[in-house]
Amino acid sequence: MFLCGLLAILPGLSSAADVSKALDNPFFAFKNSMETAGPASVEDQAALLADIGFDGFDNRDLNGLEEELKALDRHGLKLYTVYFSVRIDEGETPFNPRLPELLPLLKDRGTILWCNTTSKTLKPSDAAGDARAVPIFRQIADMAAPFGVRVAPYPHIGMWVESPEDTVRLADKVDRPNFGTSFNLFHWRALGDRKRPLEEVVRTVGPRMMVMSINGNDGTITVPGISPLQEGQMEEYITVLKAFHDAGYTGPVGLQCYGIPTNPNVHLRQSMAVWKKLRERFVGGGTQQTHAKE
């Protein structure tokens, strides 16, 4: 049913297999893919990611940044994102105060500060918080700009920045060339009836989108964890990736994993196998004809 709805809102897309261009986006793993059952050292984490074939990794709030960058460099990987906490309430420390001293480590690496943004007083998506949030984001973006670091809000269910549209509203108001939008498949789907149609999301988010992510399972907050990519969701992944691909998005695609008890050497290989099949389907360009079913 979900796939039928997506196909219906994408004009000219008769099948999710109807693709004609290569899927060349870099593919990286979220830090949380290693946080439940993975190796403790970042060196071993980087080695595992490189062995599986990922293009890069993620960081959480700049913790252990120097060590992580050295490990990634040794294994030929890139740090695509930092899951970066921003708090917009008065009286709160708005972000990691070490940001100015650590930004030089990220110079010209193409890293994105992906800002999960919270408020204890405002409801999700409440634009009343913009007056407080916009100056904070401008400060972060202006500090990051000399080092080639970009900034984007992270849409997360239940947080103040909750939807892809929130990232667009903020990008309009922050108005900095290194500040853009983003899309997270899990948290978009978790919006349920409140989520905007994919076609509309792509049209508004796509022009300034800096990063996106995909995941397994059905995207509801009642499902424990966020699973590896599932071959049974292949059509959905292709539909979403093709929509952004056709809008011109060529940036990184993150693998959203959370709370997975399986060894990452197993579950990350599962996701990589699905990713490789996705790439084959894009290159194949409609050689498979799939009909959605109710």
Structure tokens at 152: 């984007």
The length of the chain in residues reads 294
Percent of the chain clearing pLDDT 70 (strictly above): 87
Residue 195 has pLDDT above 70, yes or no: yes
d(CA 196, CA 174): 23
User: Which tens digits make up the pLDDT trace of 10-64?
Assistant: 333 334 444 447 899 999 999 999 999 999 999 999 999 999 999 999 999 999 9
What was the pLDDT predicted at 17?
42
Residue 283 has pLDDT above 50, yes or no: yes
Least confident of 8-17, 93-102, 158-167, 173-182: 8-17
Question: Which of 201, 125, 205, 196 lies closest to 157, judged by CA?
Answer: 125
- The number of angstroms, rounded, from the C-alpha of 124 to the middle of its chain's C-alpha atoms is 19
What was the pLDDT predicted at 193?
95
d(CA 227, CA 223): 9
Give per-residue burial for 61-87: e unless 16+ CB within 10 Å, then b. Answer: bbeebeebbebbeebebbbbbbbbbbb
How much is the pTM? 0.89
What domains lie within the chain, and their CATH numbers?
24-282 (3.20.20.150)
User: Which tens digits make up the pLDDT trace of 257-274?
Assistant: 998 889 999 999 999 999
Task: Sort strands 112-118 and 78-87 into parallel, antiparallel or unpaired.
Answer: parallel
What was the pLDDT predicted at 18?
45
Q: What CA dihedral angle connects 283, 3, 253 and 261, to 10 degrees? A: -120
- The number of angstroms, rounded, from the C-alpha of 155 to the middle of its chain's C-alpha atoms is 9
CA angle 163, 167, 169 (to 5 degrees): 105
Question: Which of 49, 11, 15 lies closest to 239, judged by CA?
Answer: 15
